[in-house]
Amino acid sequence: LDLACGRGQIIISLDENLSAEARANIDYWAYDIDQTYAKETRKCAEGLGFGSFDIKVGDLSDFHRILPASVVFDFITLTNTVHEVDTGQLAGLFVNCIVRLSDSGMLFVYDIERITPAELGALPWSRDDVRHMMRRMLDAFGASAYRPELGRWKHRNSDGWHVLLERQNLHVSQADLSAMVDGAIQNTHDEILKVLRRRLVECRNYLDNLTQYGARTAEEQQDKERLLFEFWAISRALERAT
Ligand SMILES: C[S@@+](CC[C@H](N)C(=O)[O-])C[C@H]1O[C@@H](n2cnc3c(N)ncnc32)[C@H](O)[C@@H]1O
């Protein structure tokens, strides 16, 4: 399941990475809010010889209601998108991804830590922020012994992070997992707000310092602009999510 598939960027080069036999074994699902992107992804999927494919359009907060309840996924991806997700929807999105994994399924999430050029309202998360969210969610699922590593990707403009969550490492039955969904969403959401409040204080202190002493270097000048975007994005997210 390619969540927030965009134009099908993940599958576009799959014919160079997987054999025709391997591609024929894939039942590909894709999901995005944008009709035009969904059409592009469909076109791309048509040419790849998948066993089957299905592209659905909808908001991420509804994906688990829109995709047939009987379908579980061996691999769910959510790439380059977390910074666009409404803060109030993020916990539900992560938790529902876990719920829709098959017994040996995996969730792969990747995003960058800074958006360049900055976008008003976009809220990128650092690897440490995401680590806090994942830990709290796993604790809420009773899987405190499971601590997946978060990877770092070095890029020219911004570092990226990824996390790979393996369903079997939760050691929780599907029935127990389903019973814990509401609590897991609430706990993860609380952690997200905690992270945001801490970031707001840090951002405010840094901006306060820049207001008093000015930006003395080119780097501080860049920071000033980035932090102003960040201040707006966090304040707006907290207002909408609490
Ligand atoms: C930057 S693109 C990433 C595309 C692709 N996953 C990739 O890695 O290149 C973000 C995608 O998320 C989709 N998106 C953003 N918010 C969404 C939402 N609330 N529901 C569904 N899709 C959303 C956008 O339409 C866009 O296609």
The Å distance, Cα 144 to ligand 1 centre, comes to 30
The Å distance, Cα 78 to ligand 1 centre, comes to 8
pLDDT attached to residue 242:
81
The Å distance, Cα 92 to ligand 1 centre, comes to 16
* Averaged pLDDT in 10-residue chunks for the chain of 242 residues: 97 96 98 98 97 98 96 98 97 98 98 93 96 98 98 93 98 97 98 98 97 94 94 96 86
Beta bridge partners of 109: 78, 163
The predicted model scores a pTM of: 0.96
Cβ atoms of 31 and 1 closer than 8 Å = yes
Nearest atom (ligand 1) to Cα of 5: 6
84 pocket-lining for ligand 1 (C-beta < 6 Å) = yes
Q: Tell me which residue of 2, 25, 11 sits closest to 107, measured CA to CA.
A: 2
Nearest CA to ligand 1 atom 2: 6
Q: Are strands 101-112 and 73-79 parallel, antiparallel or unpaired?
A: parallel
Nearest CA to ligand 1 atom 4: 6
